[in-house]
A and B are shown apart, each in its own frame.
Chain A
Amino acid sequence: MTTDVEKFGTRNWGMIADLDKCTGCQACVLACQAENNIPINTQDRVERARSISWIRVERYWEGDFPDTKARFIPIMCQHCENAPCEPVCPVYASYHNSEGLNVQVYNRCVGTRYCANACPYIVRFFNYWDPVWPESLRNHLNPDVTIRSRGIMEKCSFCIQRINRTSRKAKSEGRELEDGEIQTACSAACGTHGIVFGDLNDPDSRVSKLKNNKRAFTLLEQFGTDPNVIYLAKVDPHKKGSEEGHH
């Protein structure tokens, strides 16, 4: 007898973000907001630095006029294999599942915010207020995603509702998941196909191949968090190569 769960736990979801393709256009930010029922970041919330965006595009300045350069990097939960947020949670609301996801269980969370303090990437957000939508705007809420109430933490889930939905679909059709079949909201929206999502355990998947790219690096590697989000470095033809630098 084959069960539904035969494949569960054999995958390791990962994401590649190519910084050379990132134009900072914010399409991923809005797609995530719409997909995951993130409350409207009102002006008040933005000014108090309490807005929630599971994925954000950070912009760093380099140099001064006229040689200014702006560098963009999309930052979302890195789904670390050694996640600093997991051991600090007193109620096990933040845990690692066997598919490489760092999961936040909303109904366990009691809002200690320890995890937010532990996270070096600052991608965990606390709901300081109950989410409010005017009556008519509740129409566009995604029925697949829980609306988080006041007092709990939330963060990028790698669009687990899409992973579940697509895996289910493949199972019901009696076939294996194809590479690229699961698209997170951000990877589907990315204007330059710069965000790629897939199974890192599958050696033929696009993410596995891109992981071995010479430009691949992980964010804040020195902390040893072993993230499942892998970035490809930005290429600058004007940068002096390191071979001329210190060798």
Chain B
Amino acid sequence: MKINRREFLSLTGKSAAGAMIFAACGLPEKELIVQSPVGYPEDLVRGEDAWYATSMPDYTNGDGVIVRVVQGRATKVEGNPDHPINRGVATARYDSTLQILYHPDRIKEPLSRYSKSGNVINTSWNKATNDFKNMIRDSKDKITIITNPLRSHSSYVASEFAKKFGAKNMHFDPINQNTQQNTLKRIFDLDRLPHFDIENSHTILSFGADWLSTWHSPAQYNEMYGAFREGKGGDRGYFIHVDPRMSNTAASSDLWLSPIPGTEGDLALGIAHEIITSKLVDEKFINKYLSVVDINLDEYSTSIVANKCDISEEKIKEAAKHFAKHTPSIAFGGGSSEAHTNGTFATIAIYSLNILTNSINAKGGILPNPESALPKINSTATGNSLSDWENEINRWSNGEVKTLIIRGVDIIHGMPKFTGIEEAISKVENVVCFGQVYNDTMEYADLILPEDTCFESWDTNIPEPAPGYQVIGTQQPIVGQTMTSDGTGIISNSKSFGDLILQISKDLGENFGNDMESIIKNDLKELHGNVSNGSIISTNPDNFTNGILQRGGWWNLSNKNKTFKLSSKGIASIKSNSNFSSVENYAGEDHISDVNHHSSDFYLAPFVSNSILDGRLAYAPWAQQTPDPISSASWSTWVEINSRQAENLNIREGDVLEITSSNGSIEALAYPHPGIRPGVIGVPIGQGNKNGGRYAEGRGSNVLSILANMRDSESGALAWAATKVSVNKTGNRRKVPKMEGEVEARPVEPGVPVLVVSPNETAKEAQEHNHHQYQKELFEKKDSKSKSDH
């Protein structure tokens, strides 16, 4: 028992002598121990206050981070000011990764399961490695290795392993970007995601993508958004966002358009039609656009589109005017707009808007990204499409796969249930799982190997999208094997995925590297021979490598060798396809989006959580407790529903709702608010883990599990935003754990506390105006009241 002075004060009231003796001899053993570890990592590389530059590819788009290490323990993660991706800024997820590193339920030792239905038992690394080797030896050409989409040395090791052992290398991402990647390849001939030059843009028109919180590279986009808002020369940028649900990206926009889900493509063509008919841009660009998008635009006149999307004509006209006139402007989209059965159509319609404003390959528009600076590593990675996965899962069921190696993904949690993955995976003879915390996939694993976090292992990362030039981010171990804080034991006897695969391959006679550290350092030395300029210039390859590791990466601002051209081939093939004209659009044919509509039918709009992502960070208590930007809810799964419609349906906040699709049902707490289209419900992704340690286990529900079997007709990607559900009250009611209401709101009069000004107004003027307005209304109310009283 530790007694501090405060408690001493309270104890003296009871018994002075007793308290003092407690205070004097109650010093806990722990307090008195000063541990002297074998070596301090601070001694290896010296830095001010021991901040190490590294990166976290599993949780970010290779953002550069600096981590504060005190006495061998990582205590704080911040953005690396030097790194060109995030330029020093952070997201709401950086620090949560520390809690994965120090998670109280981290897997300590390798675990092994002897029969499919049995429990796991602790085993030694020696035995686990031998078992793993035997599995690979016995199942040559019948191996599948699954990782998250990575552009790093880990992915190089995984693909090399696949080549050497005849294995199939798959990538899994629950919220995949196949449609967008396919479309960009088709119409712009781009092999990788382009750079959106938000910083220099004056108008942004974005569709679906929640790019300020989770989409692609949020830290990079946020940083550029700050500059966009400030505007060059005081010309504040104008931001239009299209999304049926108000995400925090939509909340930051100046004009929010909320179409019926699935009509985003029509809206994009409607805006194009408005620009063309009102001749808002140069004739040259109109012709270019029409030559590429060769369809009858009359079908997308403003009034037709307004009706179809349920958006007022004025708003469409306003969006078109701003987009065309306030240039440079940029249009991009993804996320929920591409996750429909007509995703490719919508994505083409969205991105081709850039032709009208000449934003392709232009400052403030879309810029191409060069290829990777390291020849071994791809500059792009996407999850495999739903069709690929269905084939793969079939192979599992048919016994064509004997060994499955899974790293960095919780595929059982992330894959919709209709794929039958749970039955299929239990038919695979050997399932080997890497990870930090026991997750739902490990429930099916025969061998569970504790894996190093990004703070303990060597790796690299090629960010995608890159900022328009070549970037390599490096990841280095910044903490040693983690001791518990009293020094009595280790948190996890984990090993690096890359190192282990390399070692096992070597033992099986396929040597493609000794360990990650040496491969990475060699590759960086090779880079030194290949490049003449960049962020590190040194004559000595060793100094060059050390310089890169110290700064957390290497980048070459001058390298912009790749330009991109419009490929009419891609458009033509789509043109001939009947799907291009607005398709069997599942949405829009009935009017469930009417506020007064009493049906329980809704469009389900799942969204990636701002704090726990797709569930990757659900294990971390900080990520769990971070309030959602819109609902301020935490620790749970909630259902966002339009407040007026909820009133009509007699749904109140905290009602437990049952959401039923054709593939099952989940329960979640109602959270009505005015920022979502009637007829649409928003449900965050990431909760509903059956396992996952003390903070995630059994919490909320997994919306991914009930998605309908729908896919984009062109790319075969899962149409995760296309599920239709019915919503019913269960009769139960619980408190929504949320920050809102914890302190009383203070909007006693307009402008308090969030003062809003028009572009040419000063804060003082706005405040005075608000005050006058408030008093006027107050007196009018009083007058009418006193009149009615008499």
Contact = CB atoms under 8 A, between A and B. Distances in A.
B6 A149 contact: yes
Interface size class of B (residues with CB under 8 A): 35 or more
B75 A191 contact: no
Contacts of B744: 122
Interface string A184-218: 01001111111000000000000000000011110
Nearest to B99: A137
A73 to B, nearest CB: 5
A235 B253 CA distance: 11
Contact of B95 (A34, A60, A214): A34
A24 interface: yes
Contacts of B741: 49
Interface string B725-749: 0000000000101111111111100
Interface string A13-55: 0000011111111110111011100001111001101010100
A76 B676 CA distance: 29
B753 A192 contact: no
Nearest to B220: A191
Contacts of B5: 107
Given A23-B225, A27-B91, A61 B491 contact: no
Contact of A136 (B491, B644, B753, B768): B491
Contacts of B625: 40-43, 46, 51
Contacts of A193: 89, 223, 226
A65 B644 contact: yes
B738 A40 contact: no
Contacts of B78: 31, 188-189
Contacts of B610: 25-26
Contacts of A68: 246, 256, 674-675
Given A107-B5, A246-B773, A189 B79 contact: yes
A188 B230 CA distance: 18
Nearest to B310: A66
A152 B7 CA distance: 11
Interface string B1-43: 0001111010000000000000000000000000000000000
A235 to B, nearest CB: 6
Q: How many residues of A sit at the interface, in one of the four size bands?
A: 35 or more
A61 B755 contact: no
B762 interface: yes
B678 interface: yes
B622 A34 contact: yes
A137 B6 contact: no
Contact of A194 (B218, B226, B766): B226
Name the residue in B737, B740, B757 with the highest tally of chain A Cβ atoms < 10 Å from its Cβ: B757
A220 B73 CA distance: 42
Contacts of A165: 49
Contact of A142 (B76, B742, B768): B76
A237 interface: yes
Interface string A109-139: 1100000000010100000000000111111
Contact of A63 (B627, B674, B737): B674
A191 B636 contact: no
B179 interface: no
A68 B251 CA distance: 9
A215 B762 contact: yes
Given A23-B213, A59-B630, A192-B223, A34 B6 contact: no
Interface centre among B95, B212, B482, by most chain A C-beta atoms within 10 angstroms, is B95
A30 B95 contact: yes
A236 interface: yes
Contacts of A243: 760-761, 765
A188 B103 CA distance: 25
B632 A59 contact: yes
B151 interface: no
A64 interface: yes
B723 interface: no
B763 A245 contact: no
B759 A26 contact: no
A65 B49 CA distance: 50
B781 interface: no
Contacts of B98: 34, 140
B45 interface: no
B104 A73 contact: no
A112 to B, nearest CB: 13
Given A26-B610, A138-B485, A149-B6, A233 B757 contact: yes
Contacts of A35: 76
Interface string A134-155: 1111111111000001011000
15 contacts: A25-B248, A29-B626, A42-B635, A47-B735, A58-B745, A65-B674, A71-B754, A141-B75, A169-B48, A185-B76, A192-B225, A193-B89, A217-B755, A235-B759, A245-B769
Given A60-B754, A241-B758, A241-B761, 19 more contacts: A23-B222, A23-B249, A23-B251, A43-B634, A43-B636, A58-B745, A68-B256, A107-B5, A122-B744, A139-B483, A142-B76, A188-B79, A191-B89, A193-B89, A235-B758, A235-B759, A237-B758, A242-B766, A242-B768
Top 6 closest pairs, chain A to chain B, by CB: A192-B226, A191-B222, A242-B769, A70-B251, A134-B104, A34-B95
